[in-house]
A and B are shown apart, each in its own frame.
Chain A
């Protein structure tokens, strides 16, 4: 009989899942504190390597590491150590953006870019080079990182910025945690005009109206996102609601102290089967969403409710049943609108309708080789992780790649590895930087193994 010795002692492996609950694997979980412990962990990582894990908000397997170590960066939201100077803040990698924004609010500062979930950590936001609903104006999160300290397996702690070690810096931004462990970062801030936002919903009756309306809204407002009713077909394909929001200007209300979180919603049990992921239920929910937009097109909401829509859906993956949820987010350049249409039509024809479909406009691409956004349209579609979905999405991948677009890696849980280099043409540049920072391939994740991102992952490092 086999015994349960693990690579570094007797700790049992734990099941670590992606946020979507469709992926999961067993790994040793560590929570190092302080540079010495982190260095020790990196040095002692066995043949299956190590990955840092922040808020666990990746939909897929980006922060999983089967048979290896998953090292948690969270738990030390030490707000007393926040240093704001020169319109920047120095924050630990494990601090969540939600906590950071609440701490900054009384000082009348905020972050220029936040993703749709407040649980994302500073480290995770850099490693995924996240974007917000204001990408057109501000670019990605990485564009506002002044400098950061990264613990690399090859060279220990390295200070990186766009001017110091720029190659390493941009490989770490969007580098999915595979260049080292981000320990601390200095982030640029913008003044917080108001904790309250004026939000407006406009109804679009088809895809063309949606695209035009969203383009206008993105230019005119600070934040804009399109919600598509993915159940609709025929002439109404792409119909939905365009939501745009801007701070309640100018300073008519004092910035809120930020102390209050949005009330925690009722936690949702895991539903059987595909849960709400049926066309019928989605159709009803979408009707309600449209009706709300018609009845109350104008609302004033506090910042968290505007910026973190995913926080209002804490049980969202569980609603998709036992199989969990996969999100398919891709971007295609302007001019490839037919791919958006095809994505909506083909999934619908195959018997799926996204339970959530979010459309955004992206501005200029950043410098990071693995950064996701490029100028064009980003469409994010949520589906219950039914095996049949594979063929539909594989076919869409081909169209996305052919149009010069790409799939968002940090949200991925099912892309085919052979398409990655077409979608991310700067992959060789990233690989070279990573090889210098982590020559032995210590930093690795299930995502890395599945998509063969680093060269060592191609031949199975173990």
Chain B
């Protein structure tokens, strides 16, 4: 149960190898609480678990996010059997992939949709059901600023996040009155393994800052939050631009990262599951 000061006792991270997911759990759970990291790669889960602050019970569970809804049901059941009620479930599954060019094999596009849209949407559905039965708890869904208006260079990713975002928000509305809630988080560019080596656009933030934003949004009971918060008005403005201008503005070459990282021409995996 969350306590009177808003602290979560048990947090489950779906996509437990994600740096953002682990950081959110790290920020939310006080000493004596439980963090459950669910993900595909056991070695990476152990690494992620080792990075958490001491004093909490940390468990890891095998989980394939791009699988069926049943996979999520199973992991929720296992987590609840271990730790009781789940106060917060963080869903941060996805992979930032470069836009596959037209004419190329469609496998890449299919894969991107599976990872960023279909898998997470099924996980939202299964988790919402569980939290509603429980009568409390918040599902934190990691969307992206790209969900608001997809950029040509990240079209598939943006469209996938956009679908996930809309789905999660409406599930949140349908949960009203049940005690369970959904918080959609739209981060901008965050410094992680996933974005290492990419040029840093304005409003680039850190995982710790994102975790703090999520903690604040949970306290306030928000439905949607941006990280950093400044992105909300920026995105609202960008949204209104005519397509020609929007495309030019968003495709402006961002300043290269300090230390001379490679350019963003080839965006590839590291993904979080």
Report A's interface with B, CB cutoff 8 A: 1-2, 4, 7, 12-13, 15, 18, 20, 22-23, 25-27, 47-48, 60-61, 65-68, 324, 326, 385-387, 389-390, 394, 413-414, 416-418, 446, 449-450, 452, 457-462
Q: Is the CB of A387 within 8 A of B7?
A: yes
Q: Is the CB of A460 within 8 A of B85?
A: yes
Q: Is the CB of B171 within 8 A of A1?
A: yes
List residues of chain B with CB within 8 A of the CB of A2: 125, 128-129, 132, 171, 174-175
Q: Tell me, in angstroms, the Cα distance from A415 to B85 when the chains sit together.
A: 17
Task: Choose among A67, A385, A389, A458 the residue that contacts B84 (Cβ–Cβ < 8 A).
Answer: A458
Q: A25-B136, A387-B6, A462-B134 are known contacts. Are A416 and B178 too (CB-CB below 8 A)?
A: no
Q: A387-B7, A414-B3, A446-B1 are known contacts. Are A26 and B129 too (CB-CB below 8 A)?
A: no
Task: Flag whether B31 is at the interface (Cβ < 8 A).
Answer: yes
Q: Tell me, in angstroms, the Cα distance from A219 to B85 when the chains sit together.
A: 47
Of all chain A residues, the one with the shortest Cβ separation from B125 is A2
Interface size class of B (residues with CB under 8 A): 20 to 34
Task: Choose among B5, B82, B171, B177 the residue that contacts A26 (Cβ–Cβ < 8 A).
Answer: B177
Task: Choose among B1, B6, B31, B128 the residue that contacts A450 (Cβ–Cβ < 8 A).
Answer: B1
Task: Choose among A4, A66, A458 the residue that contacts B136 (Cβ–Cβ < 8 A).
Answer: A66
Task: Flag whether B81 is at the interface (Cβ < 8 A).
Answer: yes
List residues of chain A with CB within 8 A of the CB of B7: 387, 390, 414
Q: Tell me, in angstroms, the Cα distance from A414 to B1 when the chains sit together.
A: 10
B residues 66-82 with Cβ under 8 Å of A? 80-82
Task: Flag whether B97 is at the interface (Cβ < 8 A).
Answer: no
> In the complex, what's the smallest C-beta–C-beta distance from B84 to chain A, in angstroms?
3
Q: Is the CB of A390 within 8 A of B179?
A: no
Q: Tell me, in angstroms, the Cα distance from A414 to B170 when the chains sit together.
A: 32
Q: Tell me, in angstroms, the Cα distance from A394 to B85 when the chains sit together.
A: 22
B residues 210-267 with Cβ under 8 Å of A? 219
Task: Choose among A4, A25, A458, A460 the residue that contacts B80 (Cβ–Cβ < 8 A).
Answer: A460
Q: Is the CB of B31 within 8 A of A26?
A: no
28 contacts between A and B (CB under 8 A): A1-B170, A2-B128, A2-B132, A2-B174, A4-B178, A13-B177, A23-B3, A23-B4, A26-B135, A47-B133, A48-B133, A48-B134, A60-B4, A67-B136, A67-B179, A68-B135, A326-B4, A326-B5, A386-B5, A387-B219, A390-B5, A394-B30, A413-B5, A418-B32, A446-B1, A458-B84, A460-B83, A460-B84
Q: Tell me, in angstroms, the Cα distance from A461 to B80 when the chains sit together.
A: 9
Q: A2-B175, A449-B1, A450-B3 are in contact. List 6 more A-B contacts (CB 8 A).
A: A12-B177, A26-B179, A326-B4, A385-B4, A389-B5, A450-B1
Q: Tell me, in angstroms, the Cα distance from A386 to B129 when the chains sit together.
A: 31
List residues of chain B with CB within 8 A of the CB of A12: 177
Q: A2-B171, A66-B179 are known contacts. Are A449 and B5 too (CB-CB below 8 A)?
A: no
Most buried by B among A12, A67, A387: A67
Q: A450-B9, A462-B85 are known contacts. Are A414 and B4 too (CB-CB below 8 A)?
A: yes
List residues of chain B with CB within 8 A of the CB of A413: 3-5
List residues of chain B with CB within 8 A of the CB of A387: 5-7, 219
Q: Is the CB of A66 within 8 A of B4?
A: no
List residues of chain A with CB within 8 A of the CB of B83: 460
Of all chain B residues, the one with the shortest Cβ separation from A389 is B5
Q: Is the CB of A416 within 8 A of B31?
A: yes
List residues of chain A with CB within 8 A of the CB of B136: 25-26, 66-67
Most buried by A among B6, B128, B219: B6
List residues of chain A with CB within 8 A of the CB of B84: 449, 452, 457-461
Q: Is the CB of A1 within 8 A of B174?
A: yes
Q: Tell me, in angstroms, the Cα distance from A47 to B132 when the chains sit together.
A: 13
Q: Is the CB of A460 within 8 A of B30?
A: no
Q: A4-B178, A418-B32, A460-B85 are known contacts. Are A66 and B134 too (CB-CB below 8 A)?
A: yes
> In the complex, what's the smallest C-beta–C-beta distance from B243 to chain A, in angstroms?
32
List residues of chain A with CB within 8 A of the CB of B179: 13, 15, 25-27, 66-67
Q: Is the CB of B81 within 8 A of A459?
A: yes
> In the complex, what's the smallest C-beta–C-beta distance from B206 to chain A, in angstroms?
21
> In the complex, what's the smallest C-beta–C-beta distance from A396 to chain B, in angstroms?
13
List residues of chain A with CB within 8 A of the CB of B32: 416-418
Q: Tell me, in angstroms, the Cα distance from A61 to B6 when the chains sit together.
A: 13
Q: Tell me, in angstroms, the Cα distance from A449 to B86 when the chains sit together.
A: 11
Interface string of B160-196 (1 = CB under 8 A from A): 0000000000110011011100000000000000000
Task: Choose among B4, B134, B175 the residue that contacts A22 (Cβ–Cβ < 8 A).
Answer: B4
> In the complex, what's the smallest C-beta–C-beta distance from A194 to chain B, in angstroms?
39
Q: Tell me, in angstroms, the Cα distance from A68 to B80 when the chains sit together.
A: 16
List residues of chain B with CB within 8 A of the CB of A324: 4
> In the complex, what's the smallest C-beta–C-beta distance from B177 to chain A, in angstroms?
6
> In the complex, what's the smallest C-beta–C-beta distance from A24 to chain B, in angstroms?
9
Of all chain B residues, the one with the shortest Cβ separation from A22 is B4
> In the complex, what's the smallest C-beta–C-beta distance from B63 to chain A, in angstroms?
19
Of all chain A residues, the one with the shortest Cβ separation from B84 is A460
Q: Tell me, in angstroms, the Cα distance from A390 to B6 when the chains sit together.
A: 9
List residues of chain A with CB within 8 A of the CB of B31: 394, 416
Q: A13-B179, A66-B179, A462-B85 are known contacts. Are A25 and B4 too (CB-CB below 8 A)?
A: no
Q: Is the CB of A22 within 8 A of B5?
A: yes
> In the complex, what's the smallest C-beta–C-beta distance from B229 to chain A, in angstroms?
18
Q: Tell me, in angstroms, the Cα distance from A20 to B174 when the chains sit together.
A: 28
Most buried by B among A61, A386, A418, A462: A462
Q: Is the CB of A20 within 8 A of B4?
A: yes
List residues of chain B with CB within 8 A of the CB of A450: 1, 3, 9
List residues of chain A with CB within 8 A of the CB of B170: 1
List residues of chain A with CB within 8 A of the CB of B177: 4, 12-13, 26
List residues of chain A with CB within 8 A of the CB of B219: 387
Q: Tell me, in angstroms, the Cα distance from A417 to B30 when the chains sit together.
A: 12
List residues of chain B with CB within 8 A of the CB of A68: 135
